[in-house]
Amino acid sequence: MTGPSCPRRAGTVTFRAVILPALTWLALPLLLGPLLASRSRRGEAIARVVLAGFTVGALVVGAETAVPGELARYAAATPGNALFVSLTLGLLIGALGPWPWPPDRWPQVVALPVLAGAVAAMWGNGPHWSGLLLGAVLGALPLVAGRTLPGGGVVREPDLSEAAPGWWLAITAAIALAEPLVLILLLPMPWLLPGRRRGWPTPVLRRLCMPLLALAFGVALVWLAVTVAGTPWIRLGDYISAAPLSAGAERLAAVLALGMVVALAAPWPLTPIAPLLLPVPAVVLLAHRFATDLAPQGVAAWLPAVAMFLVPSAVMEAFRGRWAGALGSIAVLGGLLGNAWGLVAGLVLALVSVTPSLRRTAPVRGVDRVTFLTSPWLAAPVAGALAVVVAALLRSEVVLATLLTAGLATALARRAAPPVRTP
């Protein structure tokens, strides 16, 4: 989805429109909100950053600019443009306004620069008042609705601190540095090692189900790729130039690659079968390589179907308080977007979802783990990464990006409540 037509539109988003929009720089102080917010309102501060990222991303995609002066000229071109800009800026104002009452002081202070930029964008031509009011109501709705819902405390999740972390680090480094295609078959292997470790599902079938499925997808993918390339030692990063696939083979390779990624990430509702949290950073990196170097057109064609699975999974996990699973699903989605911004944001979310600071660091009202909702130093990078993924997703999947933004903002804005000790 894009905004209304504009005479200057050239069909592509320019570097200046993406990297140098004034509202993006004015929104950067919002990242201080999660650092300065009270603990009970930290989730709400993160939700405001996510909503702001969505609105600025919508302006960049729809109007190809987020510079206040250029937005004013864009809005003056046609009535449709004016409605689009007013509605989007109304979303921004609603997301950053002093509600729900009483507001948290510091998150409101750091929001003043970007609010001033929004006012400047409407200065002179006058806003489309109905669009502005509707946008403000929609922007505030997730925050207000979240405050009325029961609190989503920290849920106790399986402790995977002893689940062979050295294997995952070694495999991640191998994929990142050497990138031989056959190494992707190593990803499921640590789960197939003999022995039992704390945090792994006890029944053998449950423990082996998803790793075996991922291994099956991986073997089929490697067989197809090696058959086309003629050598098993081809680098993943060189594949698209050394052995380009036909359109049909690329779509088949994308199906196998995405099946392997989903099986390894095991998002909800697959989590009860095998909570594979530790390989998420490697899976994000591998997903990005699949989307850029192995089958870019095929992954782009199947991305809507995978996003329709990952977005509800992330929202459901967020409402259940299982933030490690929610961040893992969003991280994988960021990797599949096939751009540098999505990769960096996905790796941040993946590392936060598996970092030792999420588990057994300090008791939190009877629960032996800490999340970014209780640690301000984790909250700021998570807020920025979530905003980046949402804004990047807007370029291809507007409806799913909207659902993800609304769901995450509502789940984050809930009142802090005693943690839940469900397994």
**According to the model, what pLDDT value does residue 206 have?**
65
Tell me the DSSP string of 161-204. TTS-HHHHHHHHHHHHHT-BGGGGGGTTHHHHSSS--TTS-SSH
191 has a pLDDT exceeding 80: no
User: Tokens 């409540």 label which residue?
Assistant: 417
Cα separation, 34 vs 52, in Å, equals 14
367 has a pLDDT exceeding 70: no
Nearest alpha carbon to residue 295 among 338, 262, 266: 338
For residue 161, the number of C-alpha atoms closer than 13 Å in the C-beta half-sphere is 11
DSSP state of 244: P
Cα separation, 346 vs 205, in Å, equals 30
One-letter amino acid of 209: C
**According to the model, what pLDDT value does residue 307 have?**
94
Burial (CB count <10 Å: 0-12, 13-18, 19+), residue 37:
buried
Contact 132, 89 (CB under 8 A): yes
**According to the model, what pLDDT value does residue 201 have?**
52
Cα separation, 310 vs 258, in Å, equals 12
Of 56-70, 83-97, 189-203, highest mean pLDDT: 83-97
User: Tokens 């510091």 label which residue?
Assistant: 106
Q: What percent of the chain has pLDDT over 70?
A: 75
Cα separation, 109 vs 45, in Å, equals 12
The mean pLDDT value of the chain amounts to: 78
One-letter amino acid of 292: T
408 has a pLDDT exceeding 90: yes
**pLDDT confidence bin for 3, thresholds 50/70/90:** very low
Nearest alpha carbon to residue 209 among 274, 144, 258: 274
Average pLDDT over residues 199-203: 54
**pLDDT confidence bin for 103, thresholds 50/70/90:** confident
**According to the model, what pLDDT value does residue 102 have?**
73
Global pTM value: 0.85
DSSP state of 243: S
108 versus 357: which is more confidently predicted?
108
Distances (CA, A) of 244 to 221, 224, 228, 241, 337: 14, 12, 8, 6, 20
pLDDT in tens, 255-308: 999 999 998 888 888 765 554 556 788 889 889 989 988 888 999 999 999 999
**According to the model, what pLDDT value does residue 138 have?**
92
Cα separation, 316 vs 372, in Å, equals 18
One-letter amino acid of 251: R
